Amino acid sequence: MKNSRIETSQILFSAKRASTLFSPSRVAIATAACAVLLSSGTMAQELSVPCDETEEKALATAKKDEVKRITAFTPAVTIERVNPRYPKMAARRGREGWVRVSYVIDEQGNVKDPVIDDYFGSSAFKRSALSAVEQWKFEPAMKDGKPTQQCHQLVQMDFKMGGQTGARRKFIIAYKEVDEIFRSGDIEAADQAIEALHAWDSLNRYENTWLLSLDAQIANALQDEKREAKSLSRVLSSNGSKQHNDMVFSEDYIANVYQRMIVLDAQRGQYADALASFESLKGMEEQQARVDEIMPVVAQIEEQIASDQHLQLTAELNQRGAWFHTLVRNKFAFNNIQGDLDTVEVRCETHREKFTVAEDHIWSIPESWGQCRVLVKGDDAATFDLIEVAES
């Protein structure tokens, strides 16, 4: 399998679809929802609560539909990093994978509020990664001469065993069976078969990458854009790097993955992620043809961001009761909340703020804070619309 040709026809970018990436109905709904917010006289929330107010106190005293500031911060320097322990059972089985962790550095230089952004492999990897990150130590960031918090920290921890290269015979046989079912046109049967392959607890990094690539193709055939995007993102996390000379797939194939992710993220309103993929694509050698091909989509994304239309995307909290989104504008609001949302945390390059969640409020973020990610927590499967508000 190591030298096998990878079929990419299922995930290739189609220039014909570029003109239909942005749904007029979604823009209209977002505009109408924000019109209600703005006409109700709601103002952008002033961030005036003391920095040392704790989350528990704020949540306990918050009135219904009241938005409160809970915490704040700015930049830090690494003193010590502890490597995660390899879980014994995963090591015995040869299981490999990775964990992406988002975290905050507090005023004492300790890691606070680590959150699993995504992972693949043994669930034990999550516990090990969190345990390691929590032990990291930094010289704290400073603000006005005083220690303060720092956010927008994201790290990927790889769990790899020495000497593991290529796919094992057992996996190759199982993979080819799923692939043959898929290529026969029985997509539902292929989906069930690959689910069984996902359940294996002995997959190495090489096998993970092939499995995720096929999963993305099946998701594409099922027209499940969310699943396809997630699988392709995991392909990138599992693939290795040219720098370390451990890439599973070729650079040309990875460039194709970036190209497809730009399309998927644009269709789903994940504009910051799409632009980040575009920057990665531009940084690759000998990929100018793909850059030129995808430019019309990127131009539409930039036009949407700069427009006077509100941007809306519908979100659902994952099984861990969390959801991340990178903002492209400095104002946002919630609408159509179904289920319980506890907090919305804005993690920016130089500041961090946490609020209780309410509809009929517009949050305004100072440009000086840099690019921000929104972390929403609540009950798993809760859904809502997040609207990025136009400046006008």
* Backbone Cα Rg of the chain: 22
Euclidean distance between CA atoms 247 and 253, whole angstroms: 11
Length of the chain: 392
Tell me the pLDDT of the chain (392 aa) as tens digits: 543 333 333 334 343 344 445 554 454 445 454 444 444 333 333 332 233 344 455 445 555 445 554 444 456 788 999 999 999 999 999 999 999 999 988 889 999 889 999 999 999 999 999 999 999 999 887 776 778 777 767 899 999 998 767 899 999 999 999 999 999 999 999 999 999 999 999 999 999 999 999 999 999 999 999 999 999 999 999 999 888 888 999 999 999 999 999 999 999 999 999 999 999 999 999 999 999 999 999 999 999 999 999 999 999 998 889 999 999 999 999 999 999 999 999 988 777 888 888 787 899 998 877 789 999 999 988 999 999 999 86
Q: How far is CA 170 from CA 7, 94, 164, 246, in A?
A: 21, 14, 15, 22
Q: How far is CA 70 from CA 44, 108, 112, in A?
A: 16, 18, 14
- Residue 381, H or E segment: none
CB atoms within 10 A of CB 32: 12
Euclidean distance between CA atoms 316 and 381, whole angstroms: 6
Residue 193 backbone phi and psi in degrees, to 5 = -70, -40
What letter does residue 171 receive in the DSSP assignment?
H
Is pTM, for the whole model, over 0.75? Answer: yes
DSSP codes joined into one string, 24-44: HHHHHHHHHHHHHHHHTT--B
